[in-house]
Amino acid sequence: MRYNERELLSLARQPAEKAAEVLMRVPKKGSVLKKRLVKLVVNFLFYFRTDEAEPIGALLLEHCRITKEEENVFSISFMEEPERKYCFECASEEQCQEWVEALKRASYEFMRRSLIFYRNEIQKMTGKDPLEQFGISGEARFQLAA
Amino acid sequence: MKLNERSVAHYATCDSPADHAGFLRKRVERHHHHAHHHTTSYQRCWFVLKGNLLFYFEDRESREPVGLVVLEGCTVELCEAAEEFAFAIRFDDAGARAYVLVADGQAAMEAWVKALSRASFDYMRLVVRELEKQLEEACKSLAACRKSPQRSSSSSVRKRHLSNPALLPVQEKPVILENGYSVSGSSGGGGSTPGGAACPDRDGGYVKPPPLPPRRRSAAGSTTGSPTPGFSTAMPESPVSPETACFSKLHSWYGQEITVLRREWQERQKRGHP
């Protein structure tokens, strides 16, 4: 599948919502924990070798599951392959919890659900559709769930 | 750079709703080194927009996308190509190529340009933050109105309602309690108790609804008294206080409360029957 790698690399250079040095293990046979810099930008998690400017890879965080594993550790797996886990070991339990929370909220789909929720609540409380002022109430992406 | 392509492709084809989809012709640049010129041709693909990602497939039934355009940071503009109904997706990066796409007609082109312009994660985040703020303000103003002293004269109550027209629909619509049972709103006086109101159960007979749940403790920790009859206690004053502005927390909060309430109500029902 082709993709605009150039733009993705540019995204990786932008200010991150969250960044940290962690130990990371990819779901490949024989892989071990390696020190990596991870950076959360919009719905992508980029991972770098700690001394390099360009990321080794990126994970799109849609339809993924963030699981708190043992102490200091969390994992990311994807809907169609739940056993293939990307594991991350943090410096502390607190840091681990922060990452779990941040990553759970990092998907576009999560934001969409939040928006639909808020829209609905505001509509119930005030009788008005808050998206009308933006002129976007008809947009498919903001519709109440079918 | 690696990308979790298999998962990305799965996201493209899974049944989560697309924000926009349709056929577009995509300009393909081909270089002829010996001839020193470019040939421009167009390839018709099935495009699917999900969030900030634009996928394209060979055709509508393809099981895997041919490609993906990550739209974050792009601008979308109409372009003066030889083709009618053409528009371009461009990125800030000077050297980056633009994606030139051609729609089937004026309406299709406008719909795509609109959808793509609003596709970024940043834009969605802006709208969500704005709505969070609005909901907070709506809750605060509702709470403020409740706290104001209750006078027995119906005319003053009516006046208060009229002065804040936003409250009117809330009073008149059926009120959904957290435990999922609905009670029709109180009469205009604002003093009657919905606890006495009956609502039909599935068999068509009338059952008293379960007692109103106790007022929710606000996230700030202050305790509130027992529910005031006649008010829509279904609209908790706290869930969207700053501490619980996070949707996933809200979601679990509601979920837990509903489970507990449902269980309590079911137990009470069992005890009530001979």
Give the C-alpha distances (Å, rounded to integers) separating A21 from A45, A65, A92, A105. 13, 21, 11, 20
Contacts of B134 (CB under 8 A, 6+ apart): A118, A122, A130
B65–chain A Cβ distance below 8 A for any pair: yes
Name the DSSP class of B196.
G
Q: How confident is the model at residue A67 (pLDDT cuts 50, 70, 90)?
A: very high
Kindly state the average pLDDT of the residues B237-247: 47
B235 contact residues in A (CB cutoff 8 A) = 124-125
- The answer, yes or no, to whether residue B203 has pLDDT greater than 50, is no
| Residues B141/B164, Cβ–Cβ less than 8 Å | yes
**Structural domain of residue A40, as residue ranges?**
5-128
Domains of chain B, by residue range, sit at: 5-119
- The answer, yes or no, to whether residue B150 has pLDDT greater than 90, is no
- The answer, yes or no, to whether residue A48 has pLDDT greater than 90, is yes
Place of tokens 């509508």: B60
- Residue B115, burial from CB neighbour count under 10 angstroms (0-12, 13-18, 19+): buried
Least-confidence region, from B109-118, B153-162, B170-179: B170-179
CATH of the domain at A15: 2.30.29.30
Kindly state the average pLDDT of the residues A103-132: 92
- Residue A122, burial from CB neighbour count under 10 angstroms (0-12, 13-18, 19+): buried
Instruction: Give the pLDDT confidence score for residue A77 in this predicted structure.
Output: 96
- The answer, yes or no, to whether residue B105 has pLDDT greater than 50, is yes
B115–chain A Cβ distance below 8 A for any pair: yes
Per-residue pLDDT tens for B60-79?
999 999 999 999 999 999 88
Amino acid at B119: A
Output Rg (C-alpha) for chain B, integer angstroms.
28
| Strand B67-70 to A2-3 pairing | parallel
Phi then psi for B178, rounded to 5 degrees? -55, -30
| Cβ contact, residue pair A124, B170, below 8 Å | yes
Contacts of B226 (CB under 8 A, 6+ apart): B214, B215
Amino acid at A112: R
**A67's tokens:** 């699981």
Instruction: Give the pLDDT confidence score for residue A141 in this predicted structure.
Output: 75
Q: Helix (H, G, I), strand (E, B), or coil: what is residue B54?
A: strand
Instruction: Give the pLDDT confidence score for residue A145 in this predicted structure.
Output: 54
Task: Give the whole-angstrom CA distance, residue A81 versus residue B130.
Answer: 36
Instruction: Give the pLDDT confidence score for residue B163 in this predicted structure.
Output: 42
Least-confidence region, from B45-59, B74-88, B126-140, B149-163: B149-163
**B140's tokens:** 């605060």
Amino acid at A33: L
Residue closest to A27 by CA, chosen among A72, A75, A62: A75
User: What interface predicted TM-score (ipTM) does this complex get?
Assistant: 0.93
In a domain, A27, yes or no: yes
In a domain, A38, yes or no: yes
Q: Name which of A2, A6, A7, A83 to mutate to probe chain B: the one with the most chain B Cβ atoms within 10 A of its Cβ.
A: A7
In a domain, A138, yes or no: no
| Residues B25/B40, Cβ–Cβ less than 8 Å | no
Q: Is the dihedral of CA A12, A16, A17, A21 positive or negative?
A: positive
- The answer, yes or no, to whether residue B205 has pLDDT greater than 90, is no
Name the DSSP class of A75.
E
| Residues B19/B115, Cβ–Cβ less than 8 Å | yes
- Please work out, in degrees rounded to the nearest 5, the angle formed at the alpha carbon of residue B75 by the alpha carbons of A46 and B66: 60
User: In B, residues 5-44, which contact A (CB 8 Å cutoff)?
Assistant: 5-11, 14, 16-20
Instruction: Give the pLDDT confidence score for residue B270 in this predicted structure.
Output: 73
Per-residue pLDDT tens for B13-54?
988 889 999 999 999 876 555 666 667 789 999 999 999 999
B170 contact residues in A (CB cutoff 8 A) = 124-127
- The whole-model pTM stands at 0.68
Kindly state the average pLDDT of the residues A132-138: 81
Number of domains into which chain A is organized? 1
**B94's tokens:** 């000077």
The mean pLDDT of chain A is: 93
Q: Which helix (H) or strand (E) holds B43?
A: strand B37-50
Instruction: Give the pLDDT confidence score for residue B188 in this predicted structure.
Output: 36
| Residues A81/B6, Cβ–Cβ less than 8 Å | yes
The mean pLDDT of chain B is: 69
Contacts of B27 (CB under 8 A, 6+ apart): B40, B41, B42, B81, B86, B99, B100, B101, B102
Please give the residue of chain B at the shortest CA–CA distance from A144.
Answer: B17
In a domain, A140, yes or no: no
- The answer, yes or no, to whether residue B215 has pLDDT greater than 60, is no
**A79's tokens:** 């809907």
B145–chain A Cβ distance below 8 A for any pair: no
Q: Helix (H, G, I), strand (E, B), or coil: what is residue A76?
A: strand
In a domain, A58, yes or no: yes
**B124's tokens:** 């969605």
For chains A and B, CB pairs below 8 A equal 185
The domain B5-119: what is its CATH number? 2.30.29.30
Kindly state the average pLDDT of the residues A40-67: 96
| Strand B53-57 to B37-50 pairing | antiparallel
In angstroms, how far is CA A117 from the centroid of its own chain?
20
Task: Give the whole-angstrom CA distance, residue B50 versus residue B116.
Answer: 10
End-to-end Cα spacing for chain B: 69
**B253's tokens:** 């909060």
Q: How far is B68 from chain A (nearest CA, A)?
A: 5
| Residues B101/B10, Cβ–Cβ less than 8 Å | no
Task: Give the whole-angstrom CA distance, residue B235 versus residue B142.
Answer: 9
The DSSP code sequence of A16-46 is PSEEEEEEEE-SSTT---EEEEEEEETTEEE
